Structure 1
């Protein structure tokens, strides 16, 4: 009995060993589970969406408008600034709607004189041309233009000459300018309002200032940036700028939604040019600055309006497409640009386009109408 049991045990062990050796006898319960034989898929990490690359316009920007131009060669020349009378008897005027920038300057109590600056395009005729005012020096020096005018008082001419490295003064009766066709006369006008300038011809007479403005004159919004009026500000469909005591002599701008521009008005009515077109602009900047009648240089002649914007600061209004922001301006040396900071502390961003810049008294009560 014991011998049989021992033999049976040996046979049993031998069979088990053979089964293990051939790999077909013993299986675990897990191996018989069909689910256990399927490999679970590995989930792939989601592919991140690439951040769009901002579109960069490769075209060069005009330094006085901030607008792109197709051909850089069209900007490879100096800007031309022309003084234009703005008293009522001088109207209608010529060429203002082709200017990149127009400055409106004090010319005594309740009088204004304009300075129209051309660079990205030139008007055929500009006028009536009048004389220089001292504030032209710090306004124009940063752009180093050719300067068209009918001269000025002796002391003002000497003052301008002291900054000749910034301004090339080609006044109407200067030797080498007179008789070239850069200036002509309006035969139907009174003599004081009869001088007409042809800025592209005047530009070609320049021997010193022949290069374009080296930098943008205003802090234009570029690329993906938005004008400050699109991110802040208040409605301003109308802007009134007082030049005389009280509200007796105001220029104003009214927003035209169709053209998306401001239309300018003189104290006596709509500002209309000789070709019947309303004077219009994309941007309006009002720079309030202290000014008074003074003589600030040696020489003969009566006092002229002197606007204090060199190494100075003040407040400004900027309007575009029916909205306005306010803030503080500063300017350093005569050839340095204005810097503008809005009331919320951010740098001003100006929309590309044409700009009128008015310079009334430092305490002028500028009015905005929503």
Structure 2
């Protein structure tokens, strides 16, 4: 499947491919072997391309919307999570967790419950260019930083008509957002583009059978169980199944999680998840677990995942979950 790749990345890959062709030509008998290198990206007809987030067919020019989602037990079941292209899982105060759901391919009518943003969300989202961000707010000391960040922050204060409270649930776990209304308030939001993922067949070698996999924070746990019938992973949070959520690929990415300068009203420091750098990961796909390495050189860069020998590690087409775990 094709995907949009930055020009410098295409150049590096083209150079490597040409070098491989030259080697094959030198080893093969004259005329016995040939090699053709094609630029990656959209087809000549400018038609539908595959999503850089899921590897599935997607409309070109779709804006990117990130939604900060509550993940306390009182917030479940979630609404609209199954339609996300990407779901990031991060640790917050007191060892709990929250989610960042990223939408471009599909836009549900309603998403939530929505909660407040954190400082490390700004670093995470920079790879999407200048996306729209739906969130319930931030603490006062962080407000100016969010306002100055290269994104379109759309809170209830900025677009009150985009948000509604569900009276059937208790506050603060009852705020829901209408994605279309958020994007109306952020007409300049960046469109979906390459963030380093590749999609396709799994590595021919390596990988271990993995019927299930667990990631635990101090006060939160995520279980991923392979469904051979659906060819996706079933997700449970703190032992509770998440209906309608079925990622094809789950990435457990080992990162540094440190204290930030912010804390909640109880004095619990807000963790800062460092998503720029490099490290190890486990990629779950097709009922197997593959050892991987990850690299993100800068905030503007996407994250590339490779096998231990340096080859791109393809994801299975479909929804992707990235779970940040303490290295």
Tell me the secondary structure at the aligned position of residue 213 of structure 2.
Answer: strand
Q: Residues 162 and 52 from structure 1, CA distance in 2 versus in 1: closer, same or farther, beyond 3 angstroms?
A: closer
Query: Contact 1:148–1:170 at 8 Å: present in 2 too?
Result: yes
Pairing 1:332–2:297 present = yes
Pairing 1:227–2:213 present = no
Per-residue deviation, 1:109: 3.6
Pairing 1:260–2:231 present = yes
> Within 1, Cα distance between the matches of 2:141 and 2:302?
25
| Greater shift in the superposed pair: 52-61 or 78-87 | 52-61
**5+ long unaligned stretches in structure 2:** 1-30
> Within 2, Cα distance between the matches of 1:191 and 1:50?
67
> Within 2, Cα distance between the matches of 1:296 and 1:149?
18
> Within 1, Cα distance between the matches of 2:114 and 2:261?
23
Query: Contact 1:64–1:218 at 8 Å: present in 2 too?
Result: no
Per-residue deviation, 1:357: 0.7
Tell me the secondary structure at the aligned position of residue 152 of structure 1.
Answer: coil
Aligned with 2:157 (options 169, 173, 180): 173
Aligned with 1:239 (options 209, 213, 224): 213
Number of residues of Structure 1 aligned to a counterpart in Structure 2: 287
Higher strand share: 2
TM-score (norm 2): 0.80
Structure number with bigger Rg: 1
The equivalent of 2:67 in structure 1 is 82
Query: Contact 1:105–1:358 at 8 Å: present in 2 too?
Result: yes
Q: Residues 146 and 249 from structure 1, CA distance in 2 versus in 1: closer, same or farther, beyond 3 angstroms?
A: closer
Pairing 1:314–2:249 present = no
The equivalent of 2:270 in structure 1 is 304
Query: Contact 1:241–1:251 at 8 Å: present in 2 too?
Result: yes
The equivalent of 1:198 in structure 2 is 178
Query: Contact 1:153–1:302 at 8 Å: present in 2 too?
Result: no
TM-score (norm 1): 0.71
Query: Contact 2:258–2:271 at 8 Å: present in 1 too?
Result: yes
> Within 1, Cα distance between the matches of 2:310 and 2:274?
24
Query: Contact 1:132–1:156 at 8 Å: present in 2 too?
Result: no
Q: Structure 1 residue runs of 4+, over 6 Å off?
A: 48-57
> Within 2, Cα distance between the matches of 1:336 and 1:352?
21
The equivalent of 1:270 in structure 2 is 241
Q: Residues 242 and 304 from structure 1, CA distance in 2 versus in 1: closer, same or farther, beyond 3 angstroms?
A: same
Deviations 1:76-118, CA, capped at 9 Å, x for gaps: 2311111110011111210100000011110124311011111
CA RMSD in angstroms comes to: 2.7
**5+ long unaligned stretches in structure 1:** 1-47, 363-370
> Within 2, Cα distance between the matches of 1:88 and 1:257?
28
Tell me the secondary structure at the aligned position of residue 119 of structure 2.
Answer: coil
Pairing 1:65–2:43 present = no
Tell me the secondary structure at the aligned position of residue 49 of structure 2.
Answer: coil
Q: Residues 142 and 54 from structure 1, CA distance in 2 versus in 1: closer, same or farther, beyond 3 angstroms?
A: closer
> Within 2, Cα distance between the matches of 1:332 and 1:296?
25
Query: Contact 2:254–2:326 at 8 Å: present in 1 too?
Result: yes
Q: Residues 315 and 64 from structure 1, CA distance in 2 versus in 1: closer, same or farther, beyond 3 angstroms?
A: same
Query: Contact 1:109–1:243 at 8 Å: present in 2 too?
Result: no
